[in-house]
């Protein structure tokens, strides 16, 4: 399990310090795209995919809580200004309006930051959307540790919050391909969806490793096979896992990567089949706290079905995280490619 080695839960409060010039790199914390050296990128894949889907389906509408540019929904707004609603800084109002539109036959896509949907608007999502099984798609940027702005904007526990909510499908796409193919899939899904959103210039990763990959709602996909360890991953951690697995080949360490873009409902059949292969360490890797996310979902699946391989989790620690440059934070909290490699070497 990844953790901050020097974390002291009893430390006294100290003001957060801005990085000094030359320390820790620089990042535009609110709109930064994740670095993906060696991969092509696609600009605003969600916004463009939603436009293409809306051309075929006039029931699609878009709503945002003053964050159109930062969730790539401005692309949709420019293409369909009469179907775009700027709700201001009022997430609960946006969710309620989306529920009302869904009741009138529309398919609303509501966008904000993941912290605001999961923390601020949860009760409205539960009562107005999930309980009524309405086809509202809640698409949220800055999931997990994908911003350096600190706890106010780091949605490190959003999956844990939403996993317990009945009727809600949860999607955590890896890259631009996942995002673009998820849009028509979640549009066709009759119920509510919460999707974590990589935005801006999003890497195109998966088909470099698995040319026949296609996103399927509710399905996991084995992207590469291996004999020493199985990494069960979601979100951008799939990209990190693929890179780590490729680099570990030089050390004669063979690592399989199973990508789970749908967290709920979890593809238990595929996970049990792959984890049940003897002789492999099973490791989950997620851009989320190790409490209540993919790791615990996989662990529960394995134990309740009598499948008990050696098991570890890579994820964010159960604490409020620091602010700073993303590369430094990813190293510090154990979710960089280098950190994944180091942890696997230590366990194998």
Torsion angle defined by CA atoms of residues 334, 337, 342 and 343, in that order, rounded to the nearest 10 degrees: 50
pLDDT value of residue 28: 45
Do 175 and 68 reside in the same domain of the chain? yes
CA dist 180 and 264 (Å) reads 19
pTM: 0.91
pLDDT of 212 over the 50 cut: yes
The domain boundary, picked from 170, 203, 236, lies at 203
**Cβ–Cβ under 8 Å, residues 234 and 260:** yes
Do 260 and 317 reside in the same domain of the chain? yes
pLDDT of 319 over the 60 cut: yes
Q: Are strands 201-203 and 41-43 parallel, antiparallel or unpaired?
A: antiparallel
pLDDT value of residue 34: 72
Do 180 and 211 reside in the same domain of the chain? no
pLDDT of 279 over the 70 cut: yes
Do 72 and 182 reside in the same domain of the chain? yes
Residues in the chain: 348
Using alpha carbons, select from 5, 6, 11, 36 the residue that is nearest to residue 326: 36
Which residue range(s) make up the domain with 329?
A: 206-347
pLDDT of 19 over the 90 cut: no
Beta strand spans in 220-280 (E): 221-224, 229-233, 255-259, 262-264
pLDDT of 74 over the 60 cut: yes
The domain boundary, picked from 176, 203, 230, lies at 203
CA dist 158 and 145 (Å) reads 11
CA dist 54 and 265 (Å) reads 26
Q: Is residue 60 part of a domain?
A: yes
- Tell me what the mean pLDDT of segment 314-319 comes to: 98
pLDDT of 120 over the 50 cut: yes
Share of the chain above pLDDT 90, in %: 89
pLDDT of 16 over the 50 cut: no
Do 175 and 110 reside in the same domain of the chain? yes
- Tell me the longest C-alpha to C-alpha distance in the chain: 58
């Amino acid at each position: 399990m990844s953790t901050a080695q020097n974390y002291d839960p009893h430390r006294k409060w100290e003001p957060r310090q801005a990085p000094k010039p030359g320390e820790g790199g620089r990042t535009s914390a609110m709109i930064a795209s994740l670095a993906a050296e060696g991969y092509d990128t696609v600009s605003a894949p969600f916004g463009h995919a939603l436009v293409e889907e809306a051309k075929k389906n006039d029931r699609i509408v878009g709503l945002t809580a003053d964050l159109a540019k930062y969730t790539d929904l401005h692309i949709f707004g420019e293409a369909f200004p009469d179907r775009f609603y700027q709700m201001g800084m009022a997430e609960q109002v946006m969710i309620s309006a989306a529920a009302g539109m869904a009741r009138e036959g529309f398919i609303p896509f509501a966008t904000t930051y993941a912290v605001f949907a999961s923390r601020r608007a949860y009760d409205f999502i539960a009562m107005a959307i999930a309980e009524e099984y309405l086809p509202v798609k809640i698409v949220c940027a800055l999931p997990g540790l994908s911003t350096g702005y600190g706890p106010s904007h780091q949605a490190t526990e959003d999956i844990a919050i939403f996993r317990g909510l009945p009727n809600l499908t949860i999607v955590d796409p890896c890259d631009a391909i996942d995002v673009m193919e998820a849009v028509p899939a979640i549009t066709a899904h009759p119920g509510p969806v919460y999707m974590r959103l990589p935005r801006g210039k999003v890497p195109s990763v998966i088909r470099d490793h698995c040319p026949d990959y296609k996103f399927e709602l509710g399905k996991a996909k084995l992207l590469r096979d291996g004999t020493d360890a199985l990494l069960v991953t979601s979100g951008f951690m799939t990209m990190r896992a693929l890179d780590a697995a490729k680099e570990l080949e030089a050390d004669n360490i063979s690592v399989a990567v199973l990508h789970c873009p749908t967290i709920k409902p979890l593809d238990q059949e595929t996970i049990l089949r792959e984890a049940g292969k003897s002789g492999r360490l099973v490791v989950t890797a997620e851009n989320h706290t190790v409490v209540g996310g993919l790791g615990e979902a996989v662990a529960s699946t394995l134990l309740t079905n009598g499948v008990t391989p050696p098991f570890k989790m890579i994820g964010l620690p159960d604490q409020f995280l620091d602010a700073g440059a993303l590369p430094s934070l990813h190293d510090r909290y154990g979710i960089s490619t280098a950190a994944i490699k180091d942890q696997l070497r230590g366990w194998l």
